[in-house]
Structure formats: C-alpha cells, structure tokens
Amino acid sequence: MRAARALLAIDQIKLAELSGVSIATIQRMEASDGNVRGVVDSLTKVVHALNSVGVDFINDSERSDRGGRGVRLRHTDMLLGKAH
C-alpha cells in the first residue's frame, strides 16, 4: 500500500478519502508485517480505489521483469486528476 501511494504521490489521508475507509484503518493496514491485515471489506475498498486510479498489484505468479510481488502504474495518464 505504501508503494502504491508513493507511485501516486498521495498520503494516507487521500487514500482514506479515495477508498472510503478511515485513516486509522489505512494506518493499521500499512503497519502490518507481511500480508496486510484488516477486515476483508476494508481491504477490498482500498484495492478497488487503487485499481481505479491505475495501480496494478503484481502477485508472485504474475509476470514481472524483476520477479516477486509489488505494484506498478497501468498508465501514467491515470494519475489522480488525469484519468479520462
């Protein structure tokens, strides 16, 4: 989640606004060690919000030039305020 926010240049407050969950929830999720802990509904909202602004989540089994899990931007024109 922190990497996705960094790609979008947004803070926790903006992610909370985009996803409709509280800032405390974002903070708890980001403080998780390893897999993100949280209520499935809240996690789904955050993932959907990030997907909607152009963030793709890379799973272990997905193609990635460097391998492993992570995030990437689908298109640079999808950045906040520039989505069409």
Query: Residue 84: its pLDDT value, please?
Result: 37
φ and ψ at residue 60, rounded to 5 degrees? -55, -35
Domains defined for the chain, CATH in brackets? 2-78 (1.10.260.40)
Q: 82 to each of 32, 39, 52, how far by Cα in Å?
A: 31, 30, 12
Query: Residue 67: its pLDDT value, please?
Result: 55
Q: Which residues in the chain land under pLDDT 70? A: 60-69, 75-84
| DSSP SS3 for 40 | helix
The β-bridge relationship of strands 55-58 and 70-73 is antiparallel
Using CA atoms, how far apart are residues 69 and 1, in angstroms rounded to an integer? 12
Query: Residue 10: its pLDDT value, please?
Result: 94
Whether pTM > 0.85 for this model: the answer is: no
Query: Residue 17: its pLDDT value, please?
Result: 97
